[in-house]
Amino acid sequence: MHQIFSLDKFILNPVMNRFGLQVLRKVLFKLAYNLVTYRYSNDDPDVKDFKAKGYHVIHDFLSEEEFRDVEREYYQALEEVNSKPKIDHLGHYQLFEVLKDRNINVHHKVDINDDKYPRVFKCLLYHNRLQEFIKRALGCSYQPFFKQVTYKAKFERTVQINPGDQSKYVLKQSSNAQFHSDAVYPVVKAYFLISDVTKDNGAFRYVPSSNLVSLKQIVRMYRESNRKDLDDVKKGVRKELDAQRYSDNETERYGSIKHFVYPKNTLFFVDTSGMHARGYFLPNKTREIVYIDCRHNPFVEMRNRLLSKVGS
Ligand SMILES: [Fe+2]
């Protein structure tokens, strides 16, 4: 029972999935989510837009001066790690450090005394609008929000390396370049663009409104939850299971694909419970972003609110 309300991706019970348990779970999460965000989306047109479409874009997010500060800090940090790039198994440079230490995902807590990237903290991560948006979009009633939700933030520079044919798009190297959904519960991801992003350097792709509980999405989820390899995980034949991946053609059955082509200093939020994929890269093109990933269990939020009412 506990699993139904947890942030685990899958329910590994083939019989119950046949009866639609995973779909029921999706519906329950959505109801709980709508309940905890109801007031916020009425008050805030941006959050309302986010919930309806699964994304929201803010242009020219920082002032020119603030942007220059963040940009400077970003490239300083890049220089620091550039001398020792690590190439991951997908063939991407994963150059960047997370807030304090290399490759640390910050969960639950961000050290406000961190002085390594003060501009990013000051201008971006503690930006009022950003914090407020995430808090409202997740339905999180506590400040500061990152103490209550699973929260990660990192600089990310992606370079597509293709020593072979220079003329073709390289798509297959990362499984995130194929469409998928991250979770059955709403996830708020924020992308802040440090460089201009076009269709040549990894413009994020999304199927608008695929975060909603529509008949098409329910059918998709039902099929996914009855995949054969789900049983294999249950039996211990396979250790882990990744989200189901879809080709562009398959994806178009669920709606048209939006490419997030925007200039630097754009911030956009996406709910990655909807169908999304990393964009295409031409060889040696780079993409520089600050990436934030926030998740908050709406059932935990409901419990917290109830407890605080009882306590007061
Ligand atoms: Fe994803």
d(C-alpha 217, C-alpha 229), whole Å: 20
Spacing, Cα 70 to ligand 1 middle (Å) = 25
For the chain, give every domain's residue range. Answer: 2-311
Spacing, Cα 310 to ligand 1 middle (Å) = 38
Residue type, 239: K
d(C-alpha 104, C-alpha 291), whole Å: 13
Beta bridge partners of 93: 87
Q: Is 107 exposed, middle or buried (0-12, 13-18, 19+ CB in 10 A)?
A: exposed
Spacing, Cα 37 to ligand 1 middle (Å) = 23
**Alpha carbon distances (Å) from 54 to 97, 147, 151, 258, 268:** 28, 24, 19, 11, 11
Give pLDDT, residue 10: 79
Give pLDDT, residue 165: 43
Give pLDDT, residue 170: 41
Residue type, 228: K
* Token couple for 174: 């990362």
Give pLDDT, residue 215: 94
* Token couple for 250: 């398959």
Spacing, Cα 202 to ligand 1 middle (Å) = 14
With a cut of 70, list the residues of the chain below it in pLDDT.
1-2, 78, 80-116, 142-175, 233-234, 236-241, 283-284, 311-312
Give pLDDT, residue 116: 66
d(C-alpha 312, C-alpha 233), whole Å: 45
Closest by Cα among 114, 124, 145, 132 to 192? 124
Spacing, Cα 292 to ligand 1 middle (Å) = 12
Spacing, Cα 206 to ligand 1 middle (Å) = 10
d(C-alpha 201, C-alpha 184), whole Å: 29
Contact partners, residue 9, CB within 8 Å, separation at least 6: 183, 184, 241, 243
Spacing, Cα 299 to ligand 1 middle (Å) = 22
d(C-alpha 282, C-alpha 10), whole Å: 34
What would be the CATH architecture of the domain defined by 2-311? Answer: Sandwich (2.60)
Spacing, Cα 243 to ligand 1 middle (Å) = 9
Give pLDDT, residue 312: 61
40-80 tens-digit pLDDT? 888 899 999 999 999 999 999 999 999 999 898 888 776 76
Spacing, Cα 280 to ligand 1 middle (Å) = 15
Give pLDDT, residue 92: 40
Contact partners, residue 42, CB within 8 Å, separation at least 6: 48
Spacing, Cα 120 to ligand 1 middle (Å) = 24
